[in-house]
A and B are shown apart, each in its own frame.
Chain A
Amino acid sequence: MRVALFIPCYVDQFYPQVAIATLKLLQHLGLEVHYPMQQTCCGQPMANGGFEHLTHSCNSNFIKAFDGYDYIVSPSGSCVLHVKDHLHDHQQETKATQIRQRVYELCEFLTDIVQVQSIKASFPKKVALHQGCHGQRGLKLAASTETVVPWFSKPVQLLKMVEGLELVDLDRPDECCGFGGTFCVTEEAVSSAMGLSRIADYAKHDAHVVTGTDMSCLMHQEGLIKRRKLNMQILHISEVLAAGL
């Protein structure tokens, strides 16, 4: 099984520790993982901003980077959803289709493909899970509260394997944090207000650590937390799952 690691551009540049944790976690599970140096960005910032027509070179580059792998795994529900929904290249559509079918968010890859039954990690803290919307509603990593379906959550399934970890209940378990890509600057006021509501929910339930499947949502909330000097730590779910490995 050849697994390629797809690291979102902003994680590569600003959160290398998240990528390292993802790599270590996958290697710990005995997988052979490669990081193709050709990769840059999936093109989502342009596409969601209304400039999908400018993503062609990004798409070609993405295909060049990830062609031929059995699985492409990424610590981001949002970037994976973008690739699944929008990676096209009329000159090499077969390859694009193959990649769209082989790209997985980290949690779903662990629960559905690797089918991990246990993780050796230990993390004895009170943790709140921020369920990123694109992962949850787009990739269906978890049941959304709007729909009438039996409850499931792949991230929770994994967090429950971590020794000592106490997951807190939230008033609004799947409310958007307000990051939204360029939305976080073009609608700064609404974006910040949404983020602060989420943080108030974590604080109300006495969470010491906030984790999630998308570092972009967490980066936005971390920015709000740090500005207010709140005693709350932000960690990507890969860092929690790799804790103590």
Chain B
Amino acid sequence: MHTKPIPHAEAASAFLENKERVQWHDETLWFVRYKRDKIVNEIPEWEQLRDLASQIKDHTLSQLDQYLGQFEAAAIANGVTVHWAADAADHNRIVHSILAKHKAQKIVKSKSMLTEECHLNEYLETQGIEVVDTDLGERIVQLNKEMPSHIVLPAIHIKKEEVGEIFHQHLGTEKGASDPLYLALAAREHLRQKFLAADIAITGVNFAVAETGAIVVCTNEGNADLGAHLAKVHIACMGIEKLIPRTEHLSVFLRMLARNATGQNITAYSSHFRKPQPGSEMHIVIVDNGRTTQLGREAFRNSLKCIRCGACLNTCPVYRRSGGHSYHNATAGPIGAILAPNLDMRKNADLPFASTLCGSCTDVCPVKIDIHNQLYQWRQVLTQEGHVPAAKAAGMKVMAGVLASPARYSFAGKWARKLLRWFPSLALNKTFNPWAKQRDLPAPPKESFREWYQKNGGSK
């Protein structure tokens, strides 16, 4: 966790070695984007909804302290215990203390990217406590000892045949079975046992409503509900940015979330939790873990508007061809690439460069985060903070010097073209010039445009 991960380019290159799998990965995610396009085009006021959602989130972030206070007071009045965690370690300790108080050993957890970000499962394992992830995709990657590769579709990198093998090993399904219905039923049977036996259920939070103290959890499998209703104790973990001011604002966000995420009208379950059942406990752990730092960075503040729909991953041509794990961060893709440097600049300095700045992420974002602009801005920050290779910095200085002067530029251009004509093999050396690995170079013309123009003038 503290060592420097494999850089994105290298991990992506390895992922791309299996061309067939990459094509499948690309087409699967593109199909999700296609379904998303189809369903959002059924809503003529989609762009107005985006504006509204963005404004609600901007407003909330501008008064986040007040809304957090309002939310806490309302939750406490509802009989909920509210905890504040400054960072991931704090969050993990708080969750563990609740488990310890109840001597809980059997824990079920529905999907929560925050607990992934905090590495809660690993932490609890070191305390001798096993957590069962109950979202089907998350259970698959958990059994396979992997991280989710996508924030909405955690096991999108795994084919059904491989799921069959994982289930055969861990759940005792028939060897070679890959029928999705058969495998889903086996997972259902397996997870039902876990739900029924659970002491404590942990869930994430999609939206926290300041005026009522309620939290809303969106799932397609109903696993958050099964967990929270069967266990005696419900722990909900949320980042401070999950707040919305009023219940009525859900009418904006719930219309957008599933449509933009998976092309559904709405998630199968949008569950509102407000107060514990008689005889039960409900805890909400509110986590900062770098979010106030991000709130203080003006250029990056609005990344906190994210509702984790995952559409920027699906649309990203780089993500589709490099896979979620190449981002070495709990949240992958374009949104992960602007959130991760805030958590650890050194470790994640490669991520803002893993983009062509095509802007598709920005156009698909339901809350109008200017993702590609933030990628650009992070590049500037990372360079200024010294997180780019020295050779690149030296090369850029030379380039800036040449391009600042028409004389130096013309001279350099002329000689570059001559050298290319004289020694084409130099430029086509695949070790020195990555361009040439799979691409030819343009044929260098004898004359630049400016040379032509000087001879021919502007003559008509």
Contact = CB atoms under 8 A, between A and B. Distances in A.
Q: Do A and B bind each other?
A: yes
Interface of A: 7, 9, 11-17, 19-20, 23, 27, 33-35, 37-41, 43, 45-55, 57-58, 60-61, 133-134, 137-138, 144-149, 172, 174-176, 178-197, 219-220, 222-224, 226-227
Give the interface centre of A41, A133, A191, A220 by most chain B CB atoms within 10 Å.
A191
Contact of B434 (A55, A172, A188, A226): A188
B136 to A, nearest CB: 28
B82 interface: no
Interface of B: 8-9, 12-13, 16, 22, 26, 30, 37, 40-41, 43-44, 46-47, 315, 317-318, 321-322, 353-360, 362-364, 376, 379-380, 382-384, 388, 392-393, 396-397, 399-401, 403-406, 409, 413, 416-417, 433-435, 437-442, 444-445, 447-454, 458, 460
B355 A183 contact: yes
Contacts of B442: 14-15, 219, 222-223
Contact of A57 (B26, B321, B400): B400
Contacts, number: 220
Nearest to A18: B449
Given A13-B417, A48-B357, A54 B447 contact: no
A233 to B, nearest CB: 14
B405 A46 contact: no
A190 B321 contact: yes
Give the interface centre of A15, A149, A187, A219 by most chain B CB atoms within 10 Å.
A187
A156 B387 CA distance: 42
B363 A146 contact: yes
B450 A227 contact: no
Contact of B353 (A11, A53, A183): A183
A21 B288 CA distance: 56
24 contacts: A9-B403, A15-B445, A16-B448, A27-B458, A34-B458, A40-B404, A50-B353, A50-B383, A57-B400, A60-B404, A61-B405, A133-B358, A133-B360, A134-B359, A137-B362, A147-B363, A174-B360, A183-B355, A187-B12, A189-B9, A190-B9, A190-B322, A193-B22, A224-B439
A138 B357 CA distance: 10
A137 B439 contact: no
Given A34-B458, A48-B376, A58 B404 contact: yes
Contact of A40 (B357, B376, B409, B454): B409
